[in-house]
Structure 1
Amino acid sequence: MSNKVSCEIIKDMLPLYYDDVCSDESKRMVEEHLVGCPNCKNELDRLKADFILPKEEIETIRSDSNVIKNISSFWNQSKIKSFMKGMIISALLFSVINLGYFGLFNWQIISVSTDEVEIKNVSQLADSKIVYYAETNDGYSLNRLNYDMDKEGSFYITPLRPIIKREAQLHNGFENRYYSIDIKYQEKARGKVIKRIYYGTPKDKILIWEKGMDLPKASEEIENMFHE
């Protein structure tokens, strides 16, 4: 079954798979595809890297903090022990600084303003999937998209960046490329009917599609792009 599923569909499913909110059948489809597709496996590893390392760093800091508390109960005001206390506190502060530095450059937590995004060429593929071109115009890289849905049937595709942005590199990122959305799959995975699709957040969004909208057919070039 996995051999018949394109990488684009698997990449759309990876956030759901990583968050463990998709069905068992979808999990099996993703896992079977990952066995034979190193590109999609790398994409999953990149999603994991956004969150796994910070958690490990936090646990290390917590452990260091507990050690300091245990040691401090035996300290007195002598110069030697005060010096030792200062050294350990300095080591803890150094760990905190390192964690903060890593977070500033790697935690994908800041959404991209729609003032910096343009959605183009929204159309429909022969298999009913919706396809669109997302272009960011501020010159910074984009490496994570978050998928979410509210109770009213609004589906949000939110581009995320770290606090400190990096310059975009040609052909390496999500900032300028075509995307496809499989509405039927997303509805099945979430158990809800999608009424509209937005790029952005509930407070800052661009409408891509809404139920009843008459979309043009995708060009042959775009069809080939998603069915190679």
Structure 2
Amino acid sequence: MSKVSCEIVQDLLPLYYDNVCSDDSKRIVEEHLVECESCKEELYRIKADFILPKEEMERNKNDGNAIKGISSFWNHSKTKSFIKGGIISALLLSFITLGYYGLFHWHITNVPIEVVEIKNVSKLENGSIVYENDITDGYSIYRIKYDMDEKGNFYLTPLRPIIKSKAQPPYSMVKGYDIFNIEGQEMNREGAEIKALYYGTPEDNILIWKKGMDLPKASEEIEDMFHFE
């Protein structure tokens, strides 16, 4: 099987953390985590900060029950009319679900940098860069896209769905500290050297770090925050 990208695994991590993904997806994530330090850090971040709203958990549960109900109906249906009706209902449900997730859950919209503040950049004892971010417009983000160009510029791009939702405590990735492991990311990219780290896109970004920059040592409190057994 071909190697799964970090972007796919990071999209699966919230489902993996909440134990609502398939067994195959769970196996893919766990095999990837064995070798990928950056995706481990993403899982740590989710464990520390991410709280799935109760309404969404209930929705996921209801969706699962609905799918099981459709499957049961299909297996026990004995007439062609019921089968035809089931097919039409399944198609309608698929279109509605795709539309819903496309608007509310597919993270495809970049967060404008004018609503982002990056501060308190420092370095952990293990060499990882740690920084504090604050998204000031009050809307949630739950995904950071990792990308690197041929010049060694690495971009952390915050993404949202088309329809935004208000941020709720404890704010997940909207407010708080985040880490970036340069050595781990270089290993994931077959040794390609990272020369600069930016928050945003190539066209709209904030510089976090560049090679040769002397970063202060992280405080003891921050070290404890990112110390995982």
Judge same fold: TM > 0.5, yes or no.
Answer: yes
TM-score normalised by structure 1 residue count: 0.62
Contact 2:7–2:145, Cα closer than 8 Å, also in 1: no
Contact 1:116 1:138 in 2 (8 A): yes
What is the CA distance between 1:127 and its match in structure 2?
1.7
Secondary structure at the counterpart of residue 150 of structure 2: coil
Write the deviation string for residues 190-225 of structure 1: whole angstroms up to 9, x where unpaired: 020000000001111110000001111111111111
CA distance 1:127–1:173, shift in 2 (3 Å):
same
How far apart, in 2, do the equivalents of 1:188 and 1:112 lie?
28
Q: What corresponds to 1:183 in structure 2? A: 182
Alpha-carbon offset, residue 188 of structure 1: 1.1
- Cross-structure match for 2:109: 110
**What letter matches 2:172 in structure 1?**
G
Is it true that 1:15 corresponds to 2:6 in the alignment? yes
Tell me how many residue pairs correspond in the alignment. 171
Structure 1 counterpart of 2:218: 218
Aligned counterparts of 2:216 and 2:206: Cα–Cα separation in 1: 19
Q: Could you tell me which amino acid in structure 1 is paired with residue 161 of structure 2?
A: P
Q: 1:111 to 1:129 in 2, by over 3 A?
A: same
- Superposed CA deviations along residues 16-50 of structure 1, whole A, max 9, x for unmatched, are 5728xxxxx9643469x8xxx9x66xx8xxxxxxx
State the structure with more CA Rg. 1
The unaligned stretches of length 5 or more in structure 1 are 1-13, 20-24, 44-52, 54-87
Is 1:28–2:34 an aligned residue pair?
yes
Q: What one-letter code is carried by the residue in structure 1 that aligns with 2:211?
A: K
Paired with 1:163 and 1:178, the residues of 2 have a C-alpha distance of 25
Runs ≥4 residues deviating over 4 A: 88-95
Please report the TM-score for the alignment, with normalisation by the length of structure 2.
Answer: 0.62
Partner SS, residue 207 of structure 1: strand
For structure 2, list consecutive stretches of 5 or more residues without a partner in the other structure.
Answer: 11-30, 51-59, 61-86
CA distance in 2, matches of 1:97, 1:138: 29
RMSD: 4.0
What SS does the corresponding residue of 1:155 show, helix, strand or coil?
A: strand
> Percent identity, aligned pairs only?
53
Secondary structure of 2:163's partner?
coil
Q: For 2:175 and 2:99, locate their aligned partners in 1 and report how far apart those are by CA, in whole Å.
A: 29
CA distance in 2, matches of 1:223, 1:167: 30
Which residue of structure 2 lines up, in the alignment, with residue 137 of structure 1? 136
**2:156 is matched with which residue?**
157
- The structural deviation recorded for 1:119 is 0.2
CA distance in 2, matches of 1:125, 1:103: 38
Distance 1:182 1:90, change over 3 A: closer
| Distance (whole Å) between structure 2 residues aligned to residue 27 and residue 226 of structure 1 | 17
Cα distance, 1:211–1:90 mapped onto 2, change above 3 Å: same
Deviation, 1:96, is: 3.7
Q: Within 2, Cα distance between the matches of 1:165 and 1:187? A: 33
Specify whether residues 29 and 212 from structure 1 end up closer, same or farther in structure 2 by C-alpha distance, changes over 3 A only: same
Q: CA deviation at 1:98?
A: 4.6
1:100 maps to what in 2?
99
Alpha-carbon separation, structure 2, partners of 1:193 and 1:17: 23
Deviates more, 1:95-104 or 1:117-126: 95-104
Give the distance between the partners of 1:209 and 1:89, measured in 2 at CA: 54
Q: CA deviation at 1:126?
A: 1.6
Instruction: Indicate the SS of the match to 2:188.
Output: helix
